[in-house]
Each structure stands twice: as C-alpha cells, then as structure tokens.
C-alpha cells in the first residue's frame, strides 16, 4: 500500500512538473527574439555612408570617421553597406569642431597631458529624406585624454574618439524599446 502511494505521488509530481514546464515555456519570453536583426528597423535593409565632411585643418579626419562608421555598421548590424543609388537610407556626418587642448604642462611649458575633443552632426534619412533616427539630427560630443610622455599620441586619441562616435551613431540607429 505504501509503495502504491509513493508511485501515485511520484506520478502526480511528474505531471505537475510537466504542466509547469509547458506554462513557463508558453508564456514570458514568447515574443523574445535572438540576434541583432530585431534591434534595427525592418524596413531598412541597406545603407550608404556618405564621406564625412570635415571643417578641420587636420587632414583625413572625415575619411577616418567614415571608415569607422562603415566598420561598426558591418560588424554590429544586419544592414548592408551599398552605393547611394541602391541604398534604402543614407548616413551623413559633418565634423563641426575639432579641438586639442593642454590639460597640464611641464615647467618648460610642454604639454604633459592633452585633450582631444570633437563635435559631429549626423543625419540618417531614407530615400525620401525622412529622418530615421530617434532624434532628427544627432549632435555628438566626445573627447579623449592622452599623455605624450607615456607614449600616447594625437593619432591614438583621435582614433579613440572616432571609435566612440561610430559606436554612438550605430547605437542611435537602433529602434527604441
């Protein structure tokens, strides 16, 4: 009799476990999707990244920014980079301000710690010219510190700023939750 009660109790427990598993798997994460393709607009498949304009006297900053944005889009979005005639959308960027300033000096007036700062204005529009970002025009300010005595250079600080801006541009391309 005791063995029969244990068997019946085990069967009831197993049945309860199966029912709980069915309830848990059918609710909760039902609409959850895996992958980055659901983070971005479904109506946009291709994008053209126009060469970034630069108001700076330093050469090739616009090209470096454009290259970083293209790499970031290719690596972290399902969008395809293409030429303007075939693109569903276009990203344009304008480097408005580029500054370098001294944070601390040596006693001989040489820069010991320096700062690089950029301001970039970005627009992402579809073929009709309708803005696609959460904010119609994105203004991004980023800066990086570098210490020449420690082996860092203006180029490494600029590259850090470029990569931060590229990540922020792609982050703004995501659909809002």
Q: pLDDT tens digit string along 124-175?
A: 999 998 898 767 778 899 999 999 888 899 999 999 999 999 999 998 888 7
Q: Are 58 and 139 part of one and the same domain?
A: yes
Is residue 99 situated within a structural domain? yes
Percent of the chain at pLDDT exceeding 90: 50
User: Range of 8's domain?
Assistant: 1-32
Assess if residue 177 is contained within a domain.
no
Query: What pLDDT, on a 0 to 100 scale, did the predictor assign at position 150?
Result: 85
Instruction: Read off the tokens for 176.
Output: 């809002």
Residue 55 to residue 58: CA distance in whole angstroms: 9
Same domain, 9 and 47: no
Residue 51: give its domain's CATH number.
Answer: 3.30.160.150
Structural tokens at position 153: 């250079």
- Tracing tokens 């005791």 back to the chain, one arrives at 2
Does 95 share its domain with 145? yes
Q: Are residues 59 and 107 in the same domain?
A: yes
Q: How many CB atoms lie within 10 A of CB 51?
A: 12
Q: Please tell me the total count of domains within the chain.
A: 2
Using the predicted structure, report yes or no on whether residue 83 has a pLDDT greater than 90. yes
Q: What is the 3-state secondary structure (H, E, C) of 15-64?
A: HHHHHHHHHHHHCCCCCCCCCHHHCCCCCCCEEEECCCEECCCCCCHHHH
48 plus 134 within the same structural domain: yes
Distance CA 125, CA 120 (A): 16
Interval 31-56: pLDDT, tens:
555 555 556 777 889 999 999 999 88
Tokens of 85: 């005639």
- Tell me whether residue 103 is in a domain: yes
In a domain, 143, yes or no: yes
- 45 plus 17 within the same structural domain: no
Q: What is residue 2's predicted lDDT score, i.e. its pLDDT?
A: 47
């Amino acid at each position: 009799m005791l063995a029969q009660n244990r068997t019946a109790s085990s069967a009831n427990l197993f049945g309860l476990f199966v029912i709980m598993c069915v309830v848990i798997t059918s609710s909760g994460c039902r609409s959850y999707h895996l992958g980055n393709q659901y983070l971005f607009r479904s109506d946009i498949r291709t994008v053209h990244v126009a060469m970034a304009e630069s108001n700076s006297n330093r050469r090739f900053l616009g090209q470096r920014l454009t290259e970083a944005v293209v790499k970031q889009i290719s690596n972290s979005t399902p969008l395809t980079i293409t030429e303007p005639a075939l693109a569903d959308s276009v990203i344009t960027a304008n480097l408005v301000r580029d500054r370098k300033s001294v944070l601390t000096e040596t006693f001989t007036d040489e820069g010991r710690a320096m700062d690089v700062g950029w301001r970039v204005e970005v627009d992402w529009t579809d073929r009709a010219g309708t803005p696609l970002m959460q904010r119609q025009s994105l203004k991004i300010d980023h800066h990086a510190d570098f210490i020449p005595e420690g082996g860092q250079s203006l180029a490494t600080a600029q590259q850090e700023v470029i990569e931060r801006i590229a990540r922020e541009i792609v982050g703004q391309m995501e659909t809002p939750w």
